[in-house]
Every structure is written in structure tokens, then in C-alpha cells.
Amino acid sequence: MSRSGARRRRGHGEHKGVGKDYKVEAILNDAFVDGVQFYEIKWKGYPDSHNNWVTEWDLGCPEILAEYNRTRTQNTADVGQFYKILKAAAEHHPITVRNTVDQVGYPEDFEYINESVYSDEVPRPCSPMFPCECKDRCTADCPCIRERYYDKDGRVQVEAGTALMECGPKCGCGKDCSTRVVQQGSGVKFEIRRFAHKGWGVVTRAAIARGTFIGEYVGELISFEEAEERGLADSAMGLTYLFDVDMACTGGEVADFSIDAKMQGNITHFFNHSCQPNMVTHPVYVEHRDPRLHRMAFFAACDIPAGEELAFDYSPAGSDGGGARFDCFCGAPSCRGSIFL
């Protein structure tokens, strides 16, 4: 988003661009950047890929702007630095930012990444994969689809927590194969929004169908020992960004490795807790089958309407497990009142 991307004002919400008239269909969002108010514009007759940001004086449609200002509170915090961080995002749709609560801007020292990075003490996975020899898409007799984890629309259709096996980079099938869902990235339209009491969270700007892939939890892959040390410090501050990679654990065993998204992460870094979550998690295998180093993906647990916050249960067992207790502000009807980190 920059001032150079703004279209010059033509009056009455009409703009000239690439030899065509552009008319404002709707104002989708606003951002306060370097002391200037910008608005995200949906152009009539054009797909979302043509949306861009303009200033108020380049907008030229006072009636639409007045209606937008009447129905939505504008950002008051300068989120320009936030958008610089989000330039690295590989999501299919641009991520927007909204803060009408306080003057807090972007998280200091946070790096937006699109895949997890391995710390020095974590081994690189080497469990062998047996690639299929299908062309374009996996055929009915392909072992890769012996278990159908996704329906024809790419929505997960197995119980939460079930490990999902996707075709890997050595498989002969193409990128449109029905098994390749998580590895294709998220198609959700995200907005990072500031909430009172909870801080930053994420809402969806469009409705999401049950079973839809929402995002992969990425960060720094670290050892159990390192996770324990970081976890003690984070819990004391009321924070938690550690996600145990525990598919291989049974009977009270602890995970060998964890994903820490505190300093490096993607949109999932901003997901908040809810005692009545609308997302579930699944371990996912793509490049290898090492159960200690699987990927972790979020899917919609139900149909999620536009504007609803995306959240998962930080402590589904509902007990402390030795962690620190904090008041819960999730606001769910079944809120437990406390969360343990």
C-alpha cells in the first residue's frame, strides 16, 4: 500500500485507469499510514485482485465515504509499519489491519515467514516417502488417496486431530491434485484486528465453509529443552506461542520438538484463544513421514460468517498442567473463565 498506487480523482467515484473507467463499488477498509488516511477500494466490475488503496482526496466519492464513516470506526493507530511486515505474506489475498482500540502499532522485532525454520538442535526429517507415479491428478487406485481426507472442494472430512497425508514434491501428480490442500496455502481473507483486553486477533473478511483449510502454524522449530525454557518466560508474561509437535506422543509422553511463533510466524501468530473455538487442528505430512516433525494446520470447525474472529482452544484439556492461570476474555457463551499457559 503506497500513495503511488492511488488513482487520481475524477469525481463522483470515477477513475481512469488502463484506458477504462473505474467506479467505486465499496470501501472495504482504512489504514492510517505516516499521518495519512488511506482507504481500500473495491472497484465495480473488477475482481478483488484489482482492489487498491487511495487517499481521501483521491477517492472523490463523498457519499460512499460518509456511509463508510457512519458504519465503521476508523483506524486511529498508525499501522504503516505493520503493512511493511505483511509484504512478505504469501496468502492468496492481501491481509488488512484494523486498530480502533488504542495507539498500538506493529509488534516489535516480529518477522513474517511463510514456512517454519529449523533451529540448530532440530534434525532435518529424513523418513522416506514413496511417491506416486500419477499424472496431473491421483487416480482411484493410487495409494496416496487410499484414505480420503478431503472432499471434492478440498475440505477436510475426518475427525479433528487425524493426521493428513498429502502428496509430496516427488509425486508425479500436479499441483491441482486433490490431496494437495495445505501445501497450496490459504485462500481466506484475513484482517488483523485490535481487541480490548485481548490485543491483536484475526477475523475473516468473508464467510468460511466448515472443513476449509485456514492456515498453517509456522515458526521456529525448537527442542523440548529450549521450549521449556522459553515457555517459563512467556507464561510469566501471559503469552504463549509454543505449539508442541506431538503426533508421535502417547501415554503422557512429551513432544521432542515445538514450534515457537513468537518472533517468527505468519497470520496464525495472531490467532487468539476461545473456550468455544471455531477452528480445529490437524497434523499434516507433505515432504516426509517423520511423526516427530509434522506440520500443524488449522481448519474451520463449523461454518464461520464474515467478520467473526478466528480462534482455537489454547488448553483444550481445561486444566492447568502446571501452567500459570490467567483470566479469559474470549467472550464465548461457554467460557471457562480462566486459561492456563
Whole-angstrom CA distances from 313 to 11, 174, 202, 275, 317 are 49, 35, 14, 6, 9
End-to-end CA distance of the chain: 37
The string of pLDDT tens digits covering residues 167-185 is 998 899 988 898 999 999 9
State what percent of residues in the chain have pLDDT above 70. 89
The Cα–Cα gap between 49 and 51 comes to 6
For residue 313, the one-letter residue type is D
**CA of residue 94 relative to chain centroid, distance:** 11
The Cα–Cα gap between 109 and 263 comes to 7
The string of pLDDT tens digits covering residues 213-245 is 999 999 999 999 999 888 887 776 767 799 988
Q: Is 138 annotated as a binding residue?
A: no
Q: Is 126 annotated as a binding residue?
A: no
Which of 204, 206, 207 shows the shortest CA–CA distance to 193?
A: 204
Q: Is 61 annotated as a binding residue?
A: no
Residue 316 confidence (pLDDT):
73
The pLDDT of 111-121, averaged and rounded, is 94
Q: Is 142 annotated as a binding residue?
A: no
CA atoms within 13 A on the CB side of 319: 3
Q: Is 302 annotated as a binding residue?
A: no
Grid look-up 483449510 returns: 213
The pLDDT of 28-53, averaged and rounded, is 83
302 pLDDT more than 80:
yes
- DSSP annotation of 212 reads -
CA atoms within 13 A on the CB side of 186: 27
Cβ count near 6 (within 10 Å): 19
Q: Is 144 annotated as a binding residue?
A: no
